[in-house]
Amino acid sequence: MRENDIRPRELLNEYLRLSEQDATTLFTDGARDDVPCVACASTHTEHAFTKKGFGYSRCLECGTLYQTPRPRLEVFERFYVNSVSSDFWAKVFFPQVAESRRAAVFAPRAAELARMLKERGFLARTVVDVGAGHGVFLSELVARLAGATGIAVEPSSEMIESCRKLGFEVREALAEDVTDLDGRGDLVCSLEVMEHVHDPLRFISNLATFTAPGGWVFFTTLGADGFDITVLGEHANAVFPPHHLNFMSVKGFEILCGRAGLTDVEVLTPGQLDVDIVRNKTNEIPGLLDDQPFIRALLGNEQAATAFQQFLANNRMSSHSWVLARKPA
């Protein structure tokens, strides 16, 4: 898989352009608060960089990278209602890549998660997908879990309509506003949402609340230990405010889940795109890695690059992160 397969450059560049527009038009006023590490709550942090007017700091205790000082929640709520970039994603970007993502991302991910649950001897009857989007992943997953039914939680009215058409029970709301799913899910999932949320501890605690005792929480997101984010820093497309705020480290994920009362935390990074992402960015910005001759040589050797990507995945050093954790019985 290549980055362009699931994020065509023309669409991605337009999405990033609109995100930058949102950052400059919807976040020009209002207080911003310094926040401690969103994973471990430490105040032992240092400023990493500023991008599009948003500062990012790195936690010196757990290695998490996160946005601070952070606009207040009401500003983000206004942003998601009026965001042209979010509208572009829902109406233009995702529909054009939905089937390629189903084949390359959602179906393999659903198959692997089903295998992991089977390996643990766990039978999921009710699956709650928080941030379900158009319901593609949820449909792939329940098809692999015998007898399972799905509940979609999604604030976008356009996306939730797609979930209704697939026959899922739905909640058209943010996870923080859902009050009637306590303990409903044997399995509660959330894909590529954690990096967006204002308060990660509150969010993961909500996932735990939706989970039945003895059930499992599964989420995917971006991780600070990933090769592309570590090498590219502020130049990484993955770091784009105001959408992406939180990049937990492997240690940060483990601490955050523990703070939310979850146990048996397993963090995997089965990413396939880190090397390709760095290569694409160096082609876009000549000279970006002039002081990194080893990495430039690696990127130019296809056999070595492929092997290195597998090394990153095997050693929890890809930015694409999976977290599976259990709610105590």
Q: Quick check: is 237 in a domain?
A: yes
Secondary-structure percent of the chain, ordered helix, strand, coil, rounded to 5: 45, 20, 35
Is the CB of residue 144 less than 8 Å from the CB of residue 167?
no
Instruction: Work out the angle between the directed axes of helices 274-284 and 302-314 (0-180°, nearest 10).
Output: 130
Note whether residue 292 is domain-resident.
no
3-class SS of residue 211: strand
Helices 200-210 and 250-259 sit at what angle, rounded to 10 degrees? 60
User: Phi-psi bin for 191: left (phi > 0), alpha (psi -120 to 50), beta?
Assistant: beta
Domain that holds residue 109: 3-269+322-326
Count of C-beta atoms within a 10 Å radius of residue 305: 17
Residue 74 in any domain: the answer is yes
CB–CB of 52/24 below 8 Å?
yes
pLDDT along the chain (329 residues), means of 10: 84 92 88 97 98 96 98 90 88 89 93 97 97 96 96 91 96 92 98 96 97 98 98 95 97 98 98 96 94 95 97 98 97
Whether 307 is covered by a domain: the verdict is no
The HSE-up count of residue 274 (CA atoms within 13 Å, CB side) is 33
Reported in sequence order, the residue ranges of the chain that DSSP labels E, i.e. its strands, are 32-33, 45-51, 54-59, 65-67, 70-71, 126-130, 149-153, 169-171, 185-191, 211-222, 246-247, 263-268, 320-326
Residue 177 belongs to a domain: yes
pLDDT digits (tens, 9 = 90+) for 144-168: 999 999 999 998 888 899 999 999 9
Answer whether residue 294 is part of any domain. no
Residue 260 is assigned to a structural domain of this protein: yes
| pLDDT value at residue 90 | 85
Structure confidence at residue 212 (pLDDT): 98
Nearest to 241 by CA among 91, 32, 93: 32
pLDDT at 299: 95
The CATH number of residue 114's host domain is 3.40.50.150
pLDDT at 30: 81
pLDDT for the residue 114:
97
**What total number of domains does the chain contain?**
1
Q: Quote the pTM value.
A: 0.94
Q: Which residues contact 122 (CB under 8 A, 6 or more apart)?
A: 186, 187, 216
203, two tokens: 């969010």
- Residue 70 region by backbone torsions, left for phi larger than 0, else alpha for psi between -120 and 50, else beta: beta
Residue 288 is classified by DSSP as T
Whole-angstrom distance, CA of residue 101 vs CA of residue 58: 31
